[in-house]
Amino acid sequence: MTDAPPLVLDIDGTLTRPEGGIDPRVFEPVREWPAPVVLATGKAFPYPVALCTFIAIEERVIAENGGIAHVDHEVLVHGDRERTTAAVEAFQAAGGDLGWGDVDLVNRWRETEVAVDLDADEALLREVAAEHGLGVVDTGYAFHLKQPDMSKGLMLERVAERLGYEPGEFAAVGDSENDVSTFERVGRSFAPSNADDRALAAADVVLDEAHAEGALDALARLRT
């Protein structure tokens, strides 16, 4: 058995069941992984931190598509929420709706970007984003309004440095457009069969299995 590389793992669509929710089968192999594990997600900062707590691993996370991270008791911030908030206000003033209702739990604890429901007016959102010098990324679960120079891959460079690794020493598993920047930096990348077209094209290995089944297969391959 060879030494296992450090990991970067997406969450939604990667560690989840097809119908949604974390597949508990991933807990043990992730918890027992002999190298650092970083959970990298588009979700708001508290979500991956909480998941690390429940899995019982070190709280090493990249959240909000690279806008914020936590590694070894340090919080790293890249995104500018004030700039994004101004764009959201313009989007809403033009008739746009974030789509989460009056109690917006999706964005309540988000610090560096804003997530918008996939049923929202995408054309208007992209128009407003361009006017404010922002980008829009479609994760398959939401549109994320964020700085164009903000990505999981860029934040991985900072996280890896603090862990004493080069990004190329990591292996990654992910299923979405927002994982491409990670795939471009790691040494080996895997996409489950449910991944979107950009992730499938960027991955070194496209797995036969979907969702968590694919992630479990990738972890098994990396340990043999």
Strands 7-9 and 171-173: parallel
State the pTM of this model.
0.94
Q: Is the dihedral of CA 92, 96, 100, 102 positive or negative?
A: positive
10 among known catalytic residues: yes
If one compares 34 and 81, the residue with the highest pLDDT of the two is 34
pLDDT of 59 reads 98
Q: What is the pLDDT of residue 2?
A: 52
Looking at 10, 12, 175, 179, which residue is catalytic?
A: 10
Whole-angstrom distance, CA of residue 98 vs CA of residue 123: 13
Three-state DSSP at 76 gives strand
Read off the pLDDT of each residue in 195-200 and give the average, rounded to a whole number.
97
